[in-house]
Amino acid sequence: MNLQASHIPVITLLTDFGLEDEYVGVMKGVILSINPRVDLIDITHNITRHDIRQAALTVDVSFRYFPKGSPKGSIHVIVVDPGVGGNRKVLCLQQEGHFFVAPDNGVLTMVVQDGRAEKICSITNKKYFLKPVSDTFHGRDIFAPAAAHLSKGIDMLCLGQEIPLSDITRLDVPAPFVSATNELVGAVILIDHFGNLVTNISEATFERFKDGARSREVVIRLGRSKIQGVSKSYDSVKIGSAVAVFGSRNLLEISLNQGDARTYFKARIGQAVRVKL
Distance of CA 83 to the CA centre of its chain: 18
Domain count, the chain: 2
255 located within any domain? yes
35 located within any domain? yes
Same domain flag for 15 and 132: yes
Q: Residue 260 sits in a domain of what CATH number?
A: 2.40.30.90
25 located within any domain? yes
130 located within any domain? yes
268 located within any domain? yes
Same domain flag for 154 and 209: no
Same domain flag for 127 and 26: yes
Final residue belonging to a domain, choices 143, 167, 191: 167
Query: Residue 72 burial by CB count (10 A; 0-12/13-18/19+): exposed, middle or buried?
Result: middle
Helices in the chain by DSSP H: which ranges? 3-6, 23-34, 52-62, 138, 144-151, 203-210, 261-265
| DSSP H/E element including 188 | strand 184-191
Same domain flag for 21 and 136: yes
Same domain flag for 163 and 181: no
Same domain flag for 126 and 240: no
pLDDT score for 256: 95
Alpha-carbon span 256 to 237, nearest angstrom? 9
Q: Residue 8 sits in a domain of what CATH number?
A: 3.40.50.10790
Same domain flag for 163 and 227: no
pLDDT digits (tens, 9 = 90+) for 101-125: 999 999 999 999 887 889 999 999 9
Q: Which domain holds residue 151?
A: 3-167
129 located within any domain? yes
Q: Is the peptide bond before 176 cis (omega within 30 degrees of 0)?
A: no
Q: What is the pTM of this model?
A: 0.90
For the chain, list residues with pLDDT below 70: 1-6, 70-72
Q: Which amino acid is it at 236?
A: S
Same domain flag for 160 and 201: no
Alpha-carbon span 192 to 188, nearest angstrom? 11
172 located within any domain? no
Same domain flag for 150 and 265: no
pLDDT score for 72: 60
Alpha-carbon span 2 to 5, nearest angstrom? 5
Alpha-carbon span 238 to 89, nearest angstrom? 50
Final residue belonging to a domain, choices 145, 167, 189: 167
pLDDT digits (tens, 9 = 90+) for 84-101: 999 999 999 999 899 999
Same domain flag for 101 and 216: no
Same domain flag for 159 and 203: no
Same domain flag for 112 and 24: yes
Final residue belonging to a domain, choices 126, 146, 167: 167
